[in-house]
Amino acid sequence: MRIAVLSDTHDHIWNLAKVLTQIKGEVEAIIHCGDVIAPFSVGMLATSELPTYVCLGNNDEDHIGMEKKANTKFTWIHIGQQFGEIEFDNRKVAFTHYPKLGELLAKSGEYDAVFYGHTHVSENKKFGRTLLLNPGSVCGIIDGKPAKASYAIYDTKTNSANIIEVK
Give the residue extent of every domain in the chain: 2-139
Q: Mind listing the pLDDT tens digit of every residue in the chain (167 residues)?
A: 999 999 999 999 999 999 999 999 999 999 999 999 888 899 899 999 999 999 999 998 777 787 777 776 676 678 788 899 999 999 999 999 999 999 999 999 999 999 999 999 999 999 999 999 999 999 999 999 999 999 999 999 999 999 999 99
Sign of CA dihedral 28, 42, 79, 56: positive
Instruction: Answer for the pair 128, 103: CB distance below 8 angstroms, yes or no.
Output: no
Question: What phi, psi does 99 have (nearest 5°)?
Answer: -60, -45
Which residues, 6 or more positions from 136, have their beta carbon under 8 angstroms from its beta carbon? 7, 8, 120, 121, 122, 148, 149, 150, 151, 152, 163
Q: Hey, which CATH number is domain 2-139, 3.60.21.10, 3.30.1370.10, 3.40.50.300, 3.40.50.720?
A: 3.60.21.10
Beta strand 150-155 pairing with 2-6: antiparallel
- Rounded to 5 degrees, φ, ψ at 81 are -100, -115
Position 88, amino acid: F
Identify the pLDDT of residue 73. Answer: 64
Helices (H), 13-133: 13-23, 39-46, 63-73, 99-107
